[in-house]
Amino acid sequence: MSEAMELSAAEIARRVNAGEVSAREVTDAALAQIDAVDDRLGAYLTRLHDLARVSAGRVDARIKAGEHLPLAGVPVAVKDNMCLAGTRTTCGSKMLEGWVAPYTATAVARLLDAGAVPVGKANMDEFAMGSSCENSALGKTCNPYDLGRVPGGSSGGSAAAVAAYEAAIGMGSDTGGSIREPAAFCNLVGFKPTYGRVSRYGLIAFASSLDQIGPLARSVEDAALAYDVMAGKDPMDSTSVDRPVEPAATALRSDLRGVRVGIVKQFGTQGLGPEIDSLYRRAYLDLEKLGATLVDVELPTAEYGLATYYLIAPAECSSNLARFDGVRYGLRVDGEDVGRMYERTRAEGFGPEVKRRILIGTYALSSGYYDAYYVKAQKARTMFGADFKRAFERCDLIASPAASSPAFAFDAKSDPYSMYMMDYYTIPISLAGLPALSVPCGYVLPEGSSRPMPMGLQLAAPLFGEAQLLAAANAYECATQHARQRRPEGAL
Amino acid sequence: MTQYEAVIGIECHVELKTKSKMFCACPNRFGGEPNAHVCPVCLALPGALPVANEEAILQVIRAGLAFGAEIPAFSKFDRKNYFYPDMPKDYQISQYDMPLAQGGVVRYWLDDGTTKECRLTRIHLEEDTGKSTHAGSGDGRIAHSSYSLVDFNRAGVPLMECVSEPDIRSAEEAVGFLDALKRTFVQLGVSDVKMEEGSLRCDANVSIRPVGSKDLGTKAEIKNMNSFRSVSRAIESEIARQIAVVAAGGRVVQETRGWDELAGTTHSMRSKEEAHDYRYFPDPDLVPIEVDRTVVERLRSLMADLPIARFERYRGSYGLGVAQATQLVDTPQLAEYFDSCVGAGGGGQQAANFVLGDLSRLANETQTPVWESSVAPQDLAELIGLVQSKTINSKIAKDLLLRMWNGGGSPKALVEHEGLAQTSDPGSVERFVDEVLAAHPKVVADYKAGKTNVMGFLVGQVMKQSRGKANPALAGELLAQKLG
Ligand SMILES: [Zn+2]
């Protein structure tokens, strides 16, 4: 592997801006790394050799012309639910297997405009529904730390690509934990900004009121750098928030003095087994050592998070995914009449998890059930927001596990409910729209395995507290350096 | 035998005339090559998001204010979910329980001049669908077609839906109500309201009940009416059908019925049991609309005289007939022209006669609207003043109007410059009379022999001799004296 691929995004950008290395050279190194490892790893559904070289050439020309680009030459993996003009954009689904996007998502465009180079479209659970990437209809992605295990999901391809040095930044989307959980599984920093911070225009919707784009990176600094570029109001997305973005990359801290970190009673770790329990206790102590004050807080409604989420998200998805009907684009399976055509197209085009959620959502919105399910779930959602608001009166950040276990083996979670439980810690935060991230916090040995697997510490902040959140995560990361202790041997 | 009365409510969809579509930047334009005015948003490409058109929202608020509707401080968009090939998202963005306008009253008039009222339930905003062409099915419907083509130019065009309370009692009232909506929306400039072009579409909910009863009967929803005339015919036919059903001991069932223009009857399309469950829920892609009170008050203060107010003013203050008042109100620019003329002192009835008579004829002949012609309303008022003061006679007035139309200018100036003022001075008129009598001895003889109908000819000759300036009444008097 070329040494360039082990550089951070910040360092790549610095060197490309300084003319020490060209974007083209970095891009070639990334493409070589992809060709070397991705047949085994499966992080990408589409490799973008040609587009990447053209983009790199453009970046080099801009640098030569005297521009300074915050992400100059940084190879980026784009999750395959984000449109990038001229590239296949599949959502990991047979429904869109051959669909080429004619336009580019705002967040992707902002990254590219800042000098990033798209090297591939990354695998994902179909329509972002899943926590392991196993729901992709188009390919299998392995965890770079153990090829027999899942990379997490739904942004598993982006996570695996960044962990295996096939990109420096991964673009992910997080609805109930889809950035944070794969980040935890792949020893990365995965950051979900406040809902509305990053434009969703061009992100193929799963659940519109929850979906949020964010970066996956090998350091907090890199995540902050990418976030600073992609955040901000977009006139094409009414739900994007018109509020100044506090630059995060230049406000990183090295201590936590004066920061009150809430430990949530309902997010206890005893149930996760002694090894995991002690790992998180150590992580909380490390926060304290950095100067933070630990305070106990309560989120009385947290236990209803999953139930609420699995009504709202499917309800929205049942409507969002209606457009995949075979009429205008994507898969079409002919039938005797239009109704039969719809049925066959959707029966063949969608995988079982997508169908399950469409059915749940359709049911929840049906007349006679709407008040009992959808309306009640929305009320619960308001309560989560109020709960967090109350908790944040006593603390500045909330710390918890990012996932309830390390990466598991393929086919280990065969029933949907145990898979849904993976997102127990991330979902309430998503429902409240809060910014949160996962930062590496050590390793545990999964049962019957000799390969230690990474774990993630989740930190969450009040709405729009991105800069403070990233600053604190940086302090923890710099002091502990967990990610540096092991390399993704499985992939290298 | 029981007497029945009809109970009718109207739902109509009006395409708004905005620069761009409801949720994207595509032009809102009728016609064009198929699929020329489309983008990722109105084609519902994966990942595309709607952004609400503020112009359309303001137009609906103005429509609401015109009928005295309440404009709630808070409104939102909802998704109406159902699959159809010309609806790209397979849901329509509409408004379910929090429309932009609630309540209000439409006041309208009938041909005999009586005014009526119909309450509005609500006015809300939604988006139009594309247009399908189904081939191979014989009747142009999707069932049994071999293939279909879809044009999405219309998809996403803003659509305002107005729902009335069941306050209408006859086909004539229904048309009067629709006329009132049409006039008002045209005047507000929010829509062309052309039923034939599809910018106005309406459905009627029709039921019957024994006269005197306060209960509502079971209603049928009538669709596919494509002109005011077909609305009228369809409602009459449906009322007759329902009365016949009940008279034969049957019961009216709740259903949707289509109007068949050729057959002149309605036929069943689907029953209540087949009705969709639209699974409405708030659209999470759009933020709720907070309606700024100061904006509402500003729009209210800018609201011009509405058609019904105009109609009543024209009838009450100027005594215009129903036809003339209606004609003026139907063309807001003409009504404004008329108002300006009356405001400048041109008495109501005379102004109406000129505007709807000579001026409208000239407008037709020259294909120039009256309000864009070179006859300023103040000039017309001046002309009317000259006639009223008997400075000029009506023939001169007609000639002057033509010259004003062609060149413009003040009629007073023309009259003074060309000495066209009517002569009522007996001395000078008498001179003309004497000349005419001397020149036509045979006619004079005829008159004296009893052919008094030659008087008209003689007056005409006096007018001719005086180049139109002689007061014709005075000329007649003098002629009669001299022929004694
Ligand atoms: Zn468009």
| Residue-level pLDDT at B454 | 85
Give the Cα separation of A284 and A268 in Å (integer). 12
Report the candidate in B17, B10, B14, B330 with the shortest Cα–Cα distance to residue B180.
B330
User: A154 an active-site residue?
Assistant: yes
Give the Cα separation of A348 and A96 in Å (integer). 12
CA distance B153 to chain A (A): 14
CA distance B285 to chain A (A): 6
| Residue-level pLDDT at B273 | 65
Q: CB distance A325–B90 less than 8 Å?
A: yes
- Amino acid letter, residue B347: G
Tell me the pLDDT of chain A averaged across its residues.
96
Confirm if A84 and A105 have CB atoms less than 8 A apart: yes
Catalytic residue among A131, A173, A178, A430: A178
Q: CB distance B49–A102 less than 8 Å?
A: no
A322 vs B45, B83, B144: nearest CB: B83
| Residue-level pLDDT at B421 | 66
- pLDDT tier at A300, thresholds 50, 70, 90: very high
| Residue-level pLDDT at B45 | 98
Cα A102 to middle of ligand 1, angstroms: 14
Q: What percent of chain A has pLDDT over 70?
A: 100
What is the tens place of the pLDDT at every residue in B336-353?
A: 999 999 988 888 899 999
Cα B37 to middle of ligand 1, angstroms: 7
* Phi, then psi, of B344 in degrees rounded to 5: -90, 10
Domains delineated in chain A: 1-256+402-492 (3.90.1300.10)
Mean pLDDT value of segment A249-256 = 94
Give the Cα separation of B154 and B31 in Å (integer). 8
Cα A89 to middle of ligand 1, angstroms: 21
Confirm if A133 and A153 have CB atoms less than 8 A apart: yes
β partners of residue A444: A453
What is the tens place of the pLDDT at every residue in A47-61?
A: 999 999 999 999 999
CA distance B37 to chain A (A): 16
Give the three-state DSSP class for A27.
helix
| Residue-level pLDDT at B419 | 66
Instruction: Say what angle helices B293-301 and B54-66 make with each other, to 10 degrees.
Output: 60
| Residue-level pLDDT at A394 | 97
What Rg do the C-alpha atoms of chain A give, in angstroms?
21
pLDDT at A121 over 70: yes
User: A79 an active-site residue?
Assistant: yes
Give the Cα separation of B78 and B281 in Å (integer). 5
DSSP conformation class of B358? I
User: A132 an active-site residue?
Assistant: no
Strand residue runs (E) in A63-167: 75-79, 117-122
Q: CB distance B286–A366 less than 8 Å?
A: no
Q: CB distance A322–B281 less than 8 Å?
A: no
Report the candidate in A438, A435, A454, A434 with the shortest Cα–Cα distance to residue A446.
A454
CATH of domain B426-483: 1.10.10.410
Give the Cα separation of A490 and A467 in Å (integer). 34
| Residue-level pLDDT at B420 | 67
| H-state helical runs in B319-454 | 322-330, 332-343, 348-354, 360-366, 377-388, 394-407, 411-418, 426-439, 441-448
Question: Which residues of chain B neighbour A82 with C-beta distances below 8 Å?
Answer: 47
**For chain B, domain boundaries:** 4-298, 304-418, 426-483
Question: Which residues 311-330 of chain A have a CB within 8 Å of chain B?
Answer: 315-316, 318-319, 322-325, 327-329
Report the candidate in B27, B45, B47, B23 with the shortest Cα–Cα distance to residue B36.
B27
User: Could you say which residues of chain B have pLDDT below 70?
Assistant: 1, 272-275, 408, 419-423
| Residue-level pLDDT at B263 | 94
Task: Mark out chain B residues that contact chain A at CB-CB < 8 A.
Answer: 40, 43-52, 79, 81, 83, 85, 88-91, 142-144, 148, 150, 277, 279-281, 284-287
Q: Does A99 touch chain B (CB under 8 A)?
A: yes
- DSSP state letters, A441-491: EEEE--TT-SS-EEEEEEEE-STT-HHHHHHHHHHHHHHH-GGGG---TTT
What is the tens place of the pLDDT at every residue in A412-469?
A: 988 888 888 889 999 999 999 999 999 999 999 998 899 999 999 999 999 999 999 9
What is the tens place of the pLDDT at every residue in A179-226?
A: 999 999 999 999 999 999 999 999 999 999 999 999 999 999 999 999
Best mutation site among B49, B137, B277 for testing chain A: the one with the most A CBs within 10 Å? B49
